[in-house]
Structure 1
């Protein structure tokens, strides 16, 4: 089927742009954002994804403030036009590619509404292609880029309205596409024999006054790296000055290190020290993390028991919910994928950002056993 994009010279296969290059039903296109106040008392998450083979577009908005996490979920039949990123009252508009996006949630039957704009503070940084296999079948094959920015606008939830000020609110954009398993998956064929599958993933996009830093690490159950990427990125005050796609001022890093301390009785990270070394001059940079609170990624669908990604809920379905952070069971499966809002220090620099963890299965360096068993 032809779409508006077919008028541009961007095709990678002889098929129209609307036809994915793979028949994998789990093929997806996702936009994900976070945002947080500089003082560390608010966290905002926004996500939306399109599953062309499933015919589904879903989305979520979730905010933490005053010890409570509020969440909006929606799912609908995807529009055949891929440039239409709406889900009922929700819409994501690419106002300036690689520089600015606008998220609008019109008033609806839930208690959520919003009009938020993300403006890039750095150029985008391409991450290594992510591969993950379960035996002979590759179940994850994605490309992703990260970009740092600021937010402005407003959000309403639970009878409250919060104004978002560009000077006070940092954030991150994560854009990915490819194949990633969704709930249910393809259950055909013989059952897989038991094996020690595991996932150890850390991601720390951080804002500093004069730059941003990027840290991402994916290791196997023995602590061997599957991929990693680290960098320091120049920050820009205006969109006009931002190179957006490739920035020659990016300083690449290698030798990514981590020292984690877990909360008693769970796998939740309590505090951390991360380090990485400059490829240019071999300088080692160490960052210490002070946790403010934890955001559960289920707020925008990750591992959510009823609002998981790519799940057909009819032509249009919406719901909002909330929970107190103090009441969350840190040992439940749905609460294992999280982002911790962190104040950070690197030498004389002070900054803020998140440390995302997704740690499943055994992991020898920290003596983790079982699938989600607490740290020893």
Structure 2
């Protein structure tokens, strides 16, 4: 008994061609030697499915992308060699990247450790583009979890053992850059300018504008985080984030200060996952409309020119310290937009 409309379940609730469902996950080992990012989307009104997988290790950034027609079976998450499996809803996923021409693969089990809270959709008719149109909407949930398994790069396998961690989300809605420039209303192709942060401390976790808590925690639900105050430092040659001190004010009145220090060149550049268009082919999320295809590439992150060419929605693996506790977490910036915000002196943005 799951129908919400008069249509079959596979028929979308809206006819908007930019309707999407999406998953996303980032994980790393205990030392930060290996970082992986993966995600996938379906577009029911475009009959398209896509997914990407990224490994960052030793100054090398390798990505695989796959595309296929969606078809009628929404439960089939496989797209080419990228084949995640939902083991237990809201509790456990298995992320599988099968061997491919790019020389990367993995088999990772993600076990949720934090309580997910539904993110209510925010939408109204006063702020849409063009004027009078109800604006785009995103709903879903997010969380953190322990990660176990292995990642392989060119035949060399790295185990992710006890203490390896990750974060994931499941979102759905309309818009969010689907279809690229030709389908963009208002010209917005990235997720704002603010970026995000994903940090799992022992007793609480920061996921953007929410604090989430471990299962069984005495604090109910989640805690809202208000607009942060940032002091950021950037690579002077690339204008890409390298360090930051950020003050987060909670709706409870508490303030928590986090110090982020990027680990070497451990950054997953999500343009390689089609956020804002791929670096070489300019493929945007939901824009590929050809036959089933798998492609990918590797970049040398020690090469300044290559790092500049990858800038966009970037996930930086960091050592993060708050009140004497240090963990590994992710600081997300939109580069070089974050640098530009600090240069312009936008409220809440300054150089460190």
Q: TM-score, normalising length from structure 1? A: 0.78
1:208 equivalenced with 2:182 (yes/no): no
SS for the counterpart of 1:205 is strand
CA apart distance, 1:176:
0.9
Gaps of 5+ in 1: 1-8, 217-228, 370-374
Match of 2:210 in 1: 230
Match of 1:157 in 2: 153
Match of 2:249 in 1: 277
Contact 1:343/1:352, CA 8 A, preserved across alignment = yes
CA apart distance, 1:59:
0.8
Q: How does 1:195-344 map to 2 (within 5 A)?
A: 199-214=192-207, 216=208, 229-231=209-211, 233-235=212-214, 248=220, 250-280=222-252, 282-292=253-263, 293=265, 294-302=267-275, 303-305=277-279, 306=281, 307-312=283-288, 314-329=290-305, 330-332=307-309, 334-344=310-320
1:354 equivalenced with 2:347 (yes/no): no
Q: How does 1:66-105 map to 2 (within 5 A)?
A: 66-105=58-97
CA apart distance, 1:360:
7.3
How many angstroms apart in 1 are the aligned matches of 2:140 and 2:229? 22
Q: 1:63 aligns with which of 55, 60, 67?
A: 55
How many angstroms apart in 1 are the aligned matches of 2:338 and 2:105? 41
* CA deviation map 1:106-155 (0-9, x unaligned): 33455233322111011114445366744435674211321101211223
SS for the counterpart of 2:46 is coil
Match of 1:173 in 2: 168
CA apart distance, 1:206:
0.3
Match of 1:115 in 2: 107
Q: Could you say if the C-alpha distance between residues 95 and 267 of structure 1 is closer, same or farther in structure 2, counting changes exceeding 3 Å?
A: same
Computed over aligned residues only, the root mean square deviation of the Cα atoms, in angstroms, reads 3.2
Contact 1:201/1:359, CA 8 A, preserved across alignment = no
How many angstroms apart in 2 are the aligned matches of 1:157 and 1:144? 32
SS for the counterpart of 2:228 is strand
Q: Could you say if the C-alpha distance between residues 40 and 183 of structure 1 is closer, same or farther in structure 2, counting changes exceeding 3 Å?
A: same
1:19 equivalenced with 2:20 (yes/no): no
How many angstroms apart in 2 are the aligned matches of 1:11 and 1:108? 38
How many angstroms apart in 1 are the aligned matches of 2:47 and 2:181? 15
How many angstroms apart in 2 are the aligned matches of 1:198 and 1:70? 23
* CA deviation map 1:178-232 (0-9, x unaligned): 11223445469xx97x99x993122111022343222x2xxxxxxxxxxxx231x
Contact 1:57/1:77, CA 8 A, preserved across alignment = yes
SS for the counterpart of 1:33 is strand
How many angstroms apart in 1 are the aligned matches of 2:204 and 2:182? 43
Match of 2:348 in 1: none
Q: Could you say if the C-alpha distance between residues 174 and 104 of structure 1 is closer, same or farther in structure 2, counting changes exceeding 3 Å?
A: same
Q: Could you say if the C-alpha distance between residues 339 and 159 of structure 1 is closer, same or farther in structure 2, counting changes exceeding 3 Å?
A: same
SS for the counterpart of 2:49 is strand
CA apart distance, 1:46:
1.0
Aligned length: 334
SS for the counterpart of 1:70 is strand
* CA deviation map 1:302-328 (0-9, x unaligned): 231424322335332112321111225
How many angstroms apart in 1 are the aligned matches of 2:230 and 2:335? 14
Higher strand share: 1
How many angstroms apart in 1 are the aligned matches of 2:41 and 2:191? 25
Gaps of 5+ in 2: 346-350
SS for the counterpart of 1:54 is coil
Q: Could you say if the C-alpha distance between residues 357 and 125 of structure 1 is closer, same or farther in structure 2, counting changes exceeding 3 Å?
A: farther
